[in-house]
Structures are given as structure tokens and as C-alpha cells.
Amino acid sequence: MVIDNMKALVTGALGQLGHDVCLEIGGSAIGIDIDELDITDKVATQEFIKKLRPDVIIHCAAYTAVDKAETEPELCHAVNVLGTQSIAEAAKSIDAKLLYLSTDYVYDGAQDHPYEISDTPNPLGVYGQTKLDGEKVIMGVLEKFFVVRTSWVFGANGGNFVKTMLRLGRENCAVRVVADQVGSPTYTRDLASLIFAMIRTENYGIYHATNEGYCSWYEFACRIFNTASMNVMVSPISTSEYPTVAIRPSNSRLSKKSLANAGFKLLPSWQDALERFIVESHQ
């Protein structure tokens, strides 16, 4: 069923994806961020949503500092689990749809093929665990939900790997990039288009949504410099040579069978997305 003139509330509207979701939906989108509403305040959150009465909530707001989450587990849980619960309960009270953005970090990356939505999650760190717990909260409270797991996001509004590589490439003639973690880069403009299509249906459930194709961070970096016509030497390194506080899944490949089975159009290739992003951002 298509909802005409639907009122859509977008949380995390100042983030990469929230920004593009608001642009994609247009005038009927109401974008909020922490300055307007702190989702860890349950009473304020539920009052705000019940007063606004949106037809759909696209919940992009999250605690996403993966490494910092290991030392701030309570705050990460408050935002990603308790905040999500408040939003889900409010959505149920007004019979609104809810689309929740989740992550490849719900998986441990141990298997050697792309993850299906039926594969058992096993997060390696606090961030992934809280996003998985957020999924469980939504599924326990609502029937009208979309859970969308994505990975390696880049967009115009905010920091990301592409912008970091372009900056490092301007500052240095050589960079070292991890080559033993594989996944799919995802352009927020493409993901926002899919989200807009999704919320206008009743095809509820769990989905994996990324741009098509897979690569390592090293291959991604090489393609970034090639696309931007920058002469930068990229050296592949192992994860062990670039230690981080939080463990990253080595295999973040997500199967998009669930999207295809529901009749949703798959996103363009990540190479095509990267080309458009670099042209559009005039980098």
C-alpha cells in the first residue's frame, strides 16, 4: 500500500544517512537530531512522537563510535537500545511504521560467504551488540517494522572513509590500508532512495542493503584514488598491523536476497556509487 502525503519523522537527521533520507523524502520529512530531541529521555521522546503523530519513523540516530563504545558501554546502550525502545513503543501507540538502521557489526565475520538474514548474529563488540539488541527490541514491540542492515557507509554530510582517503591522499604520497577485511561500500543517497521505496510498502521484515559488489578496504582505497585521478601509493596491510580498540568483522559481506525476494530494486554497484559521489562532492 502506498501512503500519499505521509508524514515521516527522521531521527539522526544531521548524520550522513539521515541527511540524505530527508532530502529524498522531501517536504513531508521532519528531521530531528540531538539538539531537538535526546532519545535517551524516554518521556520527552514518547511525548514528542505522540504529539507529532508521524505515519512512519526512519530511525537513523545511533551511537556509532565503534571504538569509543568499548569504554562507554552504558551510553552506547542508552542510545542504541533504550532510545530505540522508547521510539518503538511510541510508534506502536500511534500505529506508525518504523524503519531501523542496523549494521554488519551484528555478525562476527567468521564465515567465508555473504551473510543471509537467516544467519545467526554474533557481535564482536559493544556497538554491534547494542545494535542487535535494538533490533530485538523493535521485533518484540512492533509488527510494522523494517530492519535494514547496511555497511561501510559514505555520503556528503559527515566524515567517512572516502573523505578520509581523499584528505590523506592530498597530504601524503603513500597510505597503508587494511586488506583482509571485506565488505560493501554503501552510498547514502542510494540507500536513502531504497528506504523511501521501502517505507511506502508493507513488506515488513529484516533486510540487508548495500551497494552491489564486494571489496577490501585496500581495494576501496585504490579505487577512490583512481576515480579521483590522484597518484597515491596504497600499500596493503593486515588487521593485526592496524590494531583498533574494537574488533572489526573480517567478512562484512551481506547477501541481498531478502531485497530481491521482496521485489525491491537492488542498489547500483559500489564503483558506480563512488564515481557519482566524487563527482557530486567536487572532491
Residue at 239 is within a domain: no
Domain count, the chain: 1
Distance CA 156, CA 24 (A): 14
Query: Which residues touch 242 (CB under 8 Å, ≥6 apart)?
Result: 176, 178
- State the CATH number of the domain containing residue 140: 3.40.50.720
pLDDT at 6: 87
Residue at 282 is within a domain: no
Residue at 238 is within a domain: no
Measured CA distances, 206 to 91, 161, 164, 198 (Å): 18, 26, 31, 11
pLDDT at 245: 96
pLDDT at 1: 33
Find the domain containing 135 and state its range.
8-160+185-212+254-268
Residue at 169 is within a domain: no
Below-50 pLDDT ranges, the chain: 1-3, 283
pLDDT at 281: 80
Per-residue pLDDT of 2-58, as tens digits, reads 345 789 999 999 999 999 999 999 988 999 999 999 999 999 999 999 999 999 999
pLDDT at 146: 98
Residue at 194 is within a domain: yes
Catalytic residue annotation: 127
